Chains A and B, each alone.
Chain A
Amino acid sequence: MGSFDEFPLHYRTFLRAYPWRRIDPVPWTPLAKPLAECRLALVSSAGLVLPDQAPFDASIRGGDPSFRRIPSDTDPTLLRDTHRSDAYDHAGIARDANLALPLERARELVARGRIGSLATRHLSFMGSITAPGRLMRDSAPAAAAELAADAVDVALLVPV
């Protein structure tokens, strides 16, 4: 079960004192139509990149707020895990990237008719962002504008 106790002592100490950002007010978009007619985007924070994409930059203080675009038809075995954190076991994602960016599962949901269609591109962040100012000010609005321009109705966000 996920808890602070999973992490080494220096992480636990940091997390216990960390000023978590409270979303207030909480924005809310109700579903406007049945999921079978909706377009779904996936957003992962696992630091996944394609072979021709730059890895996330572990040297940026406060965390790398950038994101990569992952085309919907990507073979998940091509994805490379560049997440900098050593606080969790990367072996599961190494074995099956669907664990963090469920590309194949999403395609199966469309084939079953549970979801209408998939976004042209899904998005990959590296979630180890302790200073989220630039994420909130720049990259999250840019990501949202891209997904909105792609007529995305619903997004599933997956942390690691």
Chain B
Amino acid sequence: MCNQAVGLVAAELERHGIATVCLQLLRRVAERVRPPRALWLPFLHGFPLDTPGDPERQHAVLEAALQLVERADARPPLLVDYEAPRA
């Protein structure tokens, strides 16, 4: 449900001229709801930014999300799978 909610809010932000990127934990739901830009993460619910107390791994997720926003050639809906850095 959280995945759908952020997608619906993102769509409204885009209509107001704000570029968005949604993290997503359920690829199936991202494919159905179609947020404008989505980064699918292979993490459990409750852990969208990877590991608690690990700024480096959290930044890796954020950087991947920011790179989606920077993709000038992309067309909506954009859904990309996250590749976590090796531990």
Contact = CB atoms under 8 A, between A and B. Distances in A.
Interface of A: 1-4, 6, 20-24, 26-32, 35, 41, 43, 45-46, 63, 85, 87-93, 95-96, 98-100, 102, 104-106, 108-109, 114-115, 125, 127-130, 132, 135-136, 140-141, 143-145, 147-148, 152-160
Given A26-B76, A159-B2, A98 B46 contact: no
B52 A99 contact: yes
Given A99-B48, A104-B55, A148-B16, A21 B8 contact: yes
Given A6-B44, A63-B1, A160-B45, A31 B69 contact: yes
B42 A159 contact: no
A35 B66 contact: yes
B44 A89 contact: yes
A127 B2 contact: yes
Nearest to B10: A157
A143 B21 contact: no
Contacts of B51: 92
Contact of A125 (B9, B21, B58): B9
22 contacts: A2-B26, A4-B28, A21-B33, A23-B35, A24-B34, A26-B36, A27-B14, A28-B14, A35-B66, A43-B10, A88-B46, A99-B46, A105-B49, A105-B58, A106-B62, A127-B3, A127-B5, A132-B5, A143-B9, A144-B15, A153-B19, A157-B9
Interface of B: 1-29, 32-36, 41-53, 55, 58-59, 62-63, 65-66, 69-70, 72, 75-77
A6 B3 CA distance: 15
Contacts of A155: 10, 13, 18-21
A144 B12 contact: yes
B19 to A, nearest CB: 5
B59 A29 contact: no
B22 A159 contact: yes
Nearest to A125: B5
B49 A102 contact: yes
A158 B59 contact: no
A20 B45 contact: no
A85 to B, nearest CB: 8
